[in-house]
A and B are shown apart, each in its own frame.
Chain A
Amino acid sequence: MAKPIELVVNGERRRIDVEPEMPLLWVLRDVLGLTGTKYSCGIAECGACTVLLDGEEIRSCATPVSEAAGHEITTIEGLAHTHFHTLQEAWIAEEVPQCGYCQPGQLLAAAALLARNPHPDDAEIVEHMSGILCRCGTYQRIRRAIRRAAGTAKGAAS
């Protein structure tokens, strides 16, 4: 058996005994019970499994857990500590979710964007959020919600 892997997940230190090549997605969902992160395509093409690794978004379905060892992982369950309120409120105000399945990934990707660039313009939003799929087609509202959250963030800062 490989030696235990240490991760910091949503601010908590976790030691887990799994094979190092196990995708982070399954570690989060099946080992740690954090089911907010979703499986959908399994090949890093849809973004449903997006989480943050040291604040940068990654596709957890295609990230071996060994690559996350020693790093800080933020999942939807832990997003409250960073941009939860602004984005959550914007998402609810714009009534973004339909089926909801992709929304954790959308929110984490948006959080990564705002962390890096608090006031993205439309082109930057499109560039960053493209490829994170929503089959209900809520894209227009995702764009609006990010704008709204960015505006709120601006207001709060000034």
Chain B
Amino acid sequence: MPSPDAVAHVRARSPFVDDLPEPEGTLHGAVLPSPVAHGRILRLDTAPALAMPGVAAVLTAADVPGENQIGGIVQDEALLAQGEVHHVGQPVALVVAATPRQARAARDLIALEIEELEAVFDPRRAAERGKLIAPARTIACGDVDEAWARCATIVEGRADSGAQEHLYLETQACLAVPEARGRLHLFPATQSPSGVQRITARVLGLQMHDIEVEVQRLGGAFGGKEDQATPWAVMAALAAHRLARPVKIVLGRGEDMRMTGKRHPYSTDFRLGLDGEGRFLAFEATYYQSSGAAADLSTAILQRTLFHATNAYFVPNVRVTGFCCRTNLPPFTAFRGFGGPQAMFVMESAIAAAAERLGRPARELQELNLLRENDPLPYGMRVRRANARRSFAEAVERFGLGRRLREIEEHNAASPLLKRGLALMPVCFGISFTNASLNQAGALVHIYTDGSVSLSTAAVEMGQGVATKIRRIAAGALGISERRIRVESTSTSRVANMSPTAASTATDLNGMAALLACRMLASRLRTSAAELLDVRAEDLELRGERVLLSGEVTDLGWNELVAATWKRRVDLTAHAFYSTPNLHFDPEEGRGRPFAYHVFGTAMVEATVDLLRGTATVDAVHVVHDAGRSLDPLVDRGQAEGGIVQGLGWMTMEDLVHAEDGRLLSDSLATYKIPDLHFTPTALEVVFLEDAANPAAVLQTKAIGEPPFMYGIGAFFAIRNAICAARPLAVDRFVAPLTNERILGMLDGKREEQGARSEE
């Protein structure tokens, strides 16, 4: 059965927030952002805006009835600036008017005077000055200091990766509708309905039950609507509450790019030691994460960076330390991979450095050091069903590594101006929220007397296909057609205290909760059927919309069974709850079992570099991926393909450029480029490992959302290898993205081009 979402999407019958019918009298909000990166507000005069036609209100920090505080993990972020501003784009005031145009015109008349203070944009400089969001975090195992003496080769250097704009095509948006008896109904484009509910209650001084947050679908999110959908929703709620009118806020693209946070840039020092045969003996890294002006999710993201420091490799002696550095930029936030990609980029850079130093192919070192069954990771957890070696070997074999390498060698020998390169990219990614408390979900399932089913969970559908998967799980458990099941919008009134839809866990958690709820209902129905048929419930099963007795079809069908069960006064509603078992982690000790399981896979990436123009093309990405026993291979492969394309973009073309004063210069699609069809490799193939059942997740599946993103890192090293075919490169400096500009500089042998644009 085609996904109901796909059918609706091709007819454009799947409304997003800005497509919802506006209630009569809806007002529109426009946000005044700070024009400076750090300063003290001297004057904020809203009178000129208030005098403009159509303007209903101009709201500032003074109008907040509750706490002017939207910080989640750390409470360090005001909804509307109070006293000081800490980044360009920080919301200062909200204008509410009859039309969006009137609101924006009035906003531009607000008089805002700011005394500028010194701003810091470089994370290393912030760390030097002690501007940290939280104390440094370390994970260590073995004895690194002792191990260096035993190393035959030691490489050290610096690896920097850049920010990445989410560029969800639907910009941040919320419609807030006041209802009777002081209730507010919010329709934000958020991955975290309960987060919006909780923070709205805090800011408005209401109780959570006064607020219903409902999400039908998101037009892309990728982490960018986990925490950062909240301010706009709360502002719309604040205005709706104050004015007792519906209020809508939809950010323009430029506003969205300038005001919201992105993937964290990292600058990292690394040191890798190998024995005489190339086995990794010791790894040390210090990560400087540019966290932006407020904590947002930075500490959790840094934690995941530390978890993934050694990627898919076994290293016996490790010490990795990370700093969340407070910089005067919009708070950096969740983005597919959540700190994992940044860590893996560093590890792969260290391996490339060692390989180039030793004159050996990186793939030999990678293969030699891949995780084996039961190997411990630096935080003490051992990998089970470790498919690192299996996926690597299968990729090498299936995609003909030897043949491709020969072709590339022949090509490069014959081609003076176009050089080709290949890189392998193994990935090992842990699944679970790293904050153990978030690994919980609820599901609410109703069976109506006509046999139709309504299914609510905490999962937000944002294109990842979670609704399709959960519908399939429920249909299987109840033994009915998927057509009977409606997956409802995600609402805080149907499922309370939801974790955000994030960390690739939506199906693992919500699918399991839905499965448990459906099994409860199936059990009640079987009991009822047993009484009707005068047989034992244990001999009955529900399948194909019928009751089966010892595997034989009976006369009792789904509709009759449901109707009869209702008549017998049996509850046809079930709520179930799931929490991932056996998760624990002590951040102080840096040890524990933070993940339910790991996802493995290997990509083979090929690229061509034009030595004259400095342009690079990613020609092919071939992947063997461990998807567990996929519930929907078409959906899962789509997630993998899309994640890879995003990862390629991060490593090659997506370059965020700031002016010296902290203003974002690449603030539109004219100046910030993301992959399109032309960029997408002609050969993009994802093959799933056979026989990869995963007992640690619902129905033996594996999470799919984030891990494939990191295959894109292979593009960096494929391009680097192509350049190395023309000229050697310094092995102590790795800077992503490899834009055409940077490639040209590397070809010219400019060392500084291999480095970051100097911010010092």
Chain B contacts for A129, CB-based, 8 A? 676-677
Q: Is the CB of A88 within 8 A of B11?
A: yes
- Name the one of B9, B13, B218, B670 contacting A45, with C-beta atoms under 8 angstroms: B670
Say whether, besides A99-B462, A99-B463, A142-B677, A137 and B643 are in contact (CB < 8 Å): yes
Q: Mark A78-109, 1 if CB is under 8 A from B, else 0.
A: 00000000011001110111111111100100
Q: Of the 9-residue stretches B140-148, B167-175, B445-453, B526-534, which lies at the interface with chain A?
A: B167-175
Can you name the residue of chain B whose Cβ is closest to the Cβ of A145? B10
Chain B contacts for A45, CB-based, 8 A? 668-670
Q: Is the CB of B668 within 8 A of A76?
A: no
Q: Is the CB of B18 within 8 A of A137?
A: no
Q: Is the CB of A100 within 8 A of B674?
A: no
CA distance A139 to B680 in the complex (A): 7
Q: Mark A25-58, 1 if CB is under 8 A from B, else 0.
A: 0000000000111111111011010000000000
CA distance A97 to B642 in the complex (A): 11
Q: Is the CB of B169 within 8 A of A38?
A: yes
Q: Is the CB of A141 within 8 A of B638?
A: yes
Majority SS of interface residues in chain B?
Answer: loop
Interface residues of A in 108-136 (CB under 8 A from B): 122, 125-127, 129-136
Q: Is the CB of A101 within 8 A of B10?
A: no
Say whether, besides A133-B676, A137-B642, A99 and B220 are in contact (CB < 8 Å): yes
Residue A71 interfacial (CB < 8 Å): no
CA distance A125 to B682 in the complex (A): 12
Chain A contacts for B16, CB-based, 8 A? 38, 101
Shortest beta-carbon distance from B254 to chain A in Å: 8
Can you name the residue of chain B whose Cβ is closest to the Cβ of A104? B12
Shortest beta-carbon distance from A93 to chain B in Å: 8
Residue A138 interfacial (CB < 8 Å): yes
CA distance A99 to B668 in the complex (A): 21
Shortest beta-carbon distance from B536 to chain A in Å: 42
Can you name the residue of chain A whose Cβ is closest to the Cβ of B669? A45
Number of A-B residue pairs with CB-CB distance less than 8 Å in the complex they form: 152
CA distance A92 to B167 in the complex (A): 25
Q: Is the CB of A88 within 8 A of B10?
A: yes
Chain A contacts for B674, CB-based, 8 A? 133, 135
Say whether, besides A40-B253, A133-B676, A143-B677, A92 and B218 are in contact (CB < 8 Å): no
Q: Is the CB of A43 within 8 A of B668?
A: yes
Residue B14 interfacial (CB < 8 Å): yes
CA distance A137 to B639 in the complex (A): 9
Q: Is the CB of A140 within 8 A of B684?
A: yes
- Name the one of B8, B15, B644, B678 contacting A130, with C-beta atoms under 8 angstroms: B678
Say whether, besides A35-B15, A45-B669, A100 and B680 are in contact (CB < 8 Å): no
Interface residues of B in 625-665 (CB under 8 A from A): 634-635, 638-639, 641-646
Q: Is the CB of A40 within 8 A of B641?
A: no
Q: Is the CB of A103 within 8 A of B10?
A: yes
Q: Is the CB of A137 within 8 A of B14?
A: no
Residue B5 interfacial (CB < 8 Å): yes
Q: Is the CB of B169 within 8 A of A36?
A: no
Chain A contacts for B3, CB-based, 8 A? 95
Say whether, besides A45-B670, A103-B9, A137 and B463 are in contact (CB < 8 Å): no
Shortest beta-carbon distance from A115 to chain B in Å: 17
Q: Is the CB of A133 within 8 A of B169?
A: yes
Residue B2 interfacial (CB < 8 Å): yes
Chain B contacts for A91, CB-based, 8 A? 6, 10
Chain A contacts for B6, CB-based, 8 A? 91-92, 95-97, 100
CA distance A28 to B692 in the complex (A): 49
Q: How many residues of A contact B (CB 8 A)?
A: 49
Q: Is the CB of A41 within 8 A of B684?
A: no
CA distance A134 to B463 in the complex (A): 11
Say whether, besides A92-B7, A132-B676, A99 and B641 are in contact (CB < 8 Å): no
CA distance A106 to B130 in the complex (A): 49
Q: Is the CB of A139 within 8 A of B169?
A: no
Residue A67 interfacial (CB < 8 Å): no
Say whether, besides A40-B253, A43-B668, A95-B6, A141 and B219 are in contact (CB < 8 Å): no
- Name the one of A42, A48, A126 contacting B678, with C-beta atoms under 8 angstroms: A126
Shortest beta-carbon distance from B187 to chain A in Å: 14
Q: Is the CB of A135 within 8 A of B646?
A: yes
Chain A contacts for B642, CB-based, 8 A? 98, 136-138
- Name the one of B253, B254, B463 contacting A136, with C-beta atoms under 8 angstroms: B463
Say whether, besides A130-B676, A141-B641, A135 and B12 are in contact (CB < 8 Å): no
Can you name the residue of chain A whose Cβ is closest to the Cβ of B99? A30
Q: Mark B164-207, 1 if CB is under 8 A from A, else 0.
A: 00111111000000000000000000000000000000000000
Q: Is the CB of B170 within 8 A of A101?
A: yes
Can you name the residue of chain A whose Cβ is closest to the Cβ of B640? A137
Q: Is the CB of A41 within 8 A of B669?
A: yes
CA distance A45 to B676 in the complex (A): 11
Q: Which of A43, A101, A133, A138 has the most CB of B within 10 A?
A: A101
Residue B48 interfacial (CB < 8 Å): no
Shortest beta-carbon distance from B64 to chain A in Å: 30
Q: Is the CB of B676 within 8 A of A135?
A: no
Residue A17 interfacial (CB < 8 Å): no
Q: Is the CB of A100 within 8 A of B643?
A: no
Can you name the residue of chain B whose Cβ is closest to the Cβ of A91? B10
Shortest beta-carbon distance from A89 to chain B in Å: 9
Can you name the residue of chain A whose Cβ is closest to the Cβ of B165? A135
Chain A contacts for B166, CB-based, 8 A? 135
- Name the one of B5, B11, B13, B222 contacting A135, with C-beta atoms under 8 angstroms: B222
Shortest beta-carbon distance from B656 to chain A in Å: 15
Can you name the residue of chain B whose Cβ is closest to the Cβ of A95? B634
Q: Is the CB of A76 within 8 A of B676?
A: no
Q: Is the CB of A48 within 8 A of B169?
A: yes
Residue B465 interfacial (CB < 8 Å): yes
Q: Is the CB of A35 within 8 A of B677?
A: no
CA distance A134 to B219 in the complex (A): 10
Residue B252 interfacial (CB < 8 Å): yes
Can you name the residue of chain A whose Cβ is closest to the Cβ of B222? A135
Chain B contacts for A38, CB-based, 8 A? 16, 169-170, 219
Residue B464 interfacial (CB < 8 Å): yes
Residue B19 interfacial (CB < 8 Å): yes
CA distance A37 to B16 in the complex (A): 11
A-B contact pairs, 8 of them (CB 8 A): A38-B170, A95-B635, A99-B170, A99-B220, A126-B678, A131-B676, A132-B676, A133-B169
- List residues of chain A with CB under 8 Å of any chain B CB: 35-43, 45-46, 48, 76-77, 87-88, 91-93, 95-104, 107, 122, 125-127, 129-143
4 interchain residue pairs of minimum CB distance? A36-B12, A99-B463, A101-B219, A137-B645
13 new A-B pairs (CB below 8 Å) besides A136-B642, A140-B680?
Answer: A46-B169, A77-B12, A99-B169, A99-B219, A101-B169, A130-B676, A134-B169, A135-B167, A135-B168, A136-B220, A137-B680, A138-B642, A139-B675
